[in-house]
Amino acid sequence: MKHTGRAFWIDSPGRGGIRDVTLPAPGEDEVLVRTLFSGVSRGTETLVFRGGVPVSQHTAMRAPFQEGDFPGPVKYGYLNVGVVEEGPEALKGRTVFCLYPHQTRYVVPATAVTPVPDTVPAERAVLAGTVETAVNALWDAAPLVGDRIAVVGGGMVGCSVAALLARFPGVRVQLVDADPSRAKIAEALGVGFATPEDADGDRDLVVHASATEQGLARSLELLTAEGTVLELSWYGDRQVSLPLGEAFHSRRLVIRSSQVGTVSPARPNRTYADRLAVALDLLADPALDALITGESPFEDLPDVLPRLVSGEVPALCHRVRYDESD
């Protein structure tokens, strides 16, 4: 028996639409999932929507179940929570997370879905992919008890990192963002807040996630001698200048990259599945609801995504809601 669904596609940079899809019957080791919620990662997905993925990064930027190619037509996304309608008995009826685009129903290998813990509501589980990025970043950064840390950039990834750092013993965390309204989110996450000009210096570690030259330059300024900037920003096709003169060398500063596409080398015995499971367990904390700043129905995605790109709809994670009839 074949099933049908509907999927959001980026038809060309800045334009998207919803297409009907026909699904195969799931095989012995596959599952049919009905989507409950998906999430729009405002950083990466809006970059893809505006056609900003460099040609050199087309392969590296592919999502696990992407169809089509950059800049379009392309079906892209990776924050999907649904319920298993058909598949192995151990999964049937379970709420699961999958790195799947925005689509009402889909068939994937059973190994591609991760059961959501009973302690985590489906509405919050859409954050799993972003919290997984934060977990990987902190495995890379390896903060120590009592560290003085700034997170520069209060977007979805930066706030996720700050939320996890708030749990570290003795660590003093300050979220730094040019938008003063992010102070409320910082308060909900249990961390301090400052605008760039008022941020505390002498930081042992600065996690940079603003995706701006100014943010990266300010991150270097906030470090103590021999401190490290962990760079999480994805700049797409933009060139970035770095202030590597002045005291950069005499203070022996470090800039280190981190990217979720590879499990941190600091955890050689962990798999992608292990990392995602850690992220889902961490989502039992209701404070992380502060990262979901808007919601709209699936049918509105062609209109909502351009408004997210332009900033008309301000958002960290924008949640997409699916009707049971979809």
Tell which wins on pLDDT, 162 or 316: 162
Whether residue 239 contacts residue 96, with contact meaning beta carbons closer than 8 Å, is answered with no
What's the mean per-residue pLDDT of the chain? 94
Domain boundary residue among 257, 273, 298?
A: 257
Q: Which two tokens stand for residue 296?
A: 């709209």
Instruction: Name every residue whose Cβ is closer than 8 Å to that of residue 239 and which is 6 or more positions away in sequence.
Output: none
Question: Residues 9-17: what's their mean pLDDT?
Answer: 96
pLDDT of 94 higher than 80 = yes
Q: Looking at residue 1, what is its pLDDT?
A: 61
pLDDT above 70: residue 65: yes
The residue that leads in pLDDT, 114 or 247, is: 114
Which residue range(s) make up the domain with 23? 3-117+284-321
Do residue 98 and residue 154 come from a single domain? no
**In this structure, is residue 58 part of a structural domain?**
yes
Condensed to tens digits (0 to 9), the pLDDT of residues 235-283 reads 766 788 888 887 899 999 999 999 888 999 999 999 999 999 999 999 9
Section 10-17 average pLDDT: 96
Provide the CB-side half-sphere exposure for 50 (13 A, CA). 14
Tell me if 125 is assigned to some domain.
Answer: no
Same domain (yes/no): 102, 161: no
Same domain for 14 and 37: yes
Assess whether 314 and 223 both reside in one domain.
no
Which residue's entry shows tokens 């994670």?
317
209 neighbors 236 (Cβ within 8 angstroms): no
Q: What Cα–Cα distance (Å) separates residue 324 from each residue in 115, 156, 212, 313?
A: 20, 28, 40, 26
Same domain? 91 vs 136: no
Q: What is the mean pLDDT of residues 124-134?
A: 96
Residue 177 has a pLDDT of 97
Domain assignment of residue 326, yes or no: no
Q: Domain check: are 93 and 150 in the same one?
A: no
Say if residue 113 is in the same domain as residue 137: no
Confidence of residue 139 (pLDDT cuts 50, 70, 90): very high
Tell me: do 234 and 189 sit in the same domain: yes
CATH number at residue 100: 3.90.180.10
Same domain as 143, residue 252: yes
How much of the chain, in percent, has pLDDT values that exceed 90?
A: 84
DSSP 103: B
pLDDT, position 46: 87
Query: Could you tell me if 289 and 229 lie in one domain?
Result: no
Give how many domains the chain has, as a whole number.
Answer: 2
Do 133 and 125 meet the contact criterion of CB atoms below 8 Å apart? no
> Is the pLDDT reported for residue 314 higher than 90?
no
Last residue of a domain, one of 213, 242, 257: 257
Please tell me the predicted confidence (pLDDT) of residue 37: 98
201 and 238 within one domain: yes
208 pLDDT exceeds 70? yes
Confidence category of residue 326, pLDDT binned at 50, 70, 90: low
Q: For residue 258, what pLDDT is reported?
A: 93
Out of 56-60, 168-172, 186-190, 225-229, least confident range: 56-60
- Of the chain, the percentage scoring pLDDT greater than 70 comes to 98
Instruction: Mark whether 99 and 135 lie in a shared domain.
Output: no
